Structures are given as C-alpha cells and as structure tokens.
A = this chain, B = another copy of it.
C-alpha cells in the first residue's frame, strides 16, 4: 500500500490519509476513475478504525477528489489529478514553514540549522520502506 501513517506525526490520522491520498493522486499512483481501496480494506491495512478511514474519504469527497460509485466504492474524480498536483506542493510547503518557523525560534546558529535540515532530509530520502 502507498500510505503510511504515523500516530505521533502531530497530524490527525484521518488528515494523514487525506494528504497522502492527494499525494498519490498527484503522483499518478492513482488515476482518475480508479477505485480507491475500500474503507474496510484500507482500515485493515493501516491497522486503524474503518470510521477513521471513512472520515478521511468524506473529506476527500468534500474536496472534490473522490466520488462515490454506488455499490462499487469510491473512485478518483475526473479533475482530481490537476487539483491534487496544484495542492500537493502547497501542503508540504505549509508544513515546512511551520517547522522552520519553530526552528528559527530555537536560536540555533543558522548554519548549524541548515546542516541539520540537510542531514535529516537526505536521511529521509534514503529511507525506502
């Protein structure tokens, strides 16, 4: 599965699902018309409650990214790819800004901070699980 949730992320679980689903669509891991995993299946895979998945899917419908196909499930809506590509970068930039804003308040030496950021980024990029 293309989603990975981290309970200590600071973000609510349903929000992580929403964001990563948008990432997946922006990155074309999911294409318009594709059915997303069923509520129950995704809940089982991520070891979270179906209701939490349901809430994430509700949000995604509300955002115009998913739409119901009666009796079949939920599919990626037509305009979703474009919308998600536009939004994807913004979601990440917002979070980066928040974290860097906090980091700024630590009064670390800017160069130390740059090094720390770079180190963590590269180590995250290497992690391929």
Binary B-proximity of A111-129 (CB < 8 A = 1, otherwise 0): 0011011001101110100
| Chain B residue at smallest Cβ distance from A63 | B62
Known: A71-B49, A121-B114. A98 touches B23 (CB 8 A): no
Give the number of residues in A that approach B within 8 Å (Cβ atoms). Answer: 51
A103, B92: Cβ atoms closer than 8 Å: yes
A99, B99: Cβ atoms closer than 8 Å: yes
User: Chain B residues near A19 (CB, 8 Å)?
Assistant: 102
Known: A88-B108, A117-B117. A102 touches B97 (CB 8 A): no
Binary B-proximity of A73-97 (CB < 8 A = 1, otherwise 0): 0000000000000001101110111
How many Å lie between the Cα of A122 and that of B56 in the bound state?
33
B120, A97: Cβ atoms closer than 8 Å: yes
User: Chain B residues near A4 (CB, 8 Å)?
Assistant: 101, 105
Binding site for B on A (CB under 8 A): 2-4, 6-11, 16, 19-20, 23-24, 26-27, 29, 49, 62, 70-71, 88-89, 91-93, 95-108, 110, 113-114, 116-117, 120-121, 123-125, 127
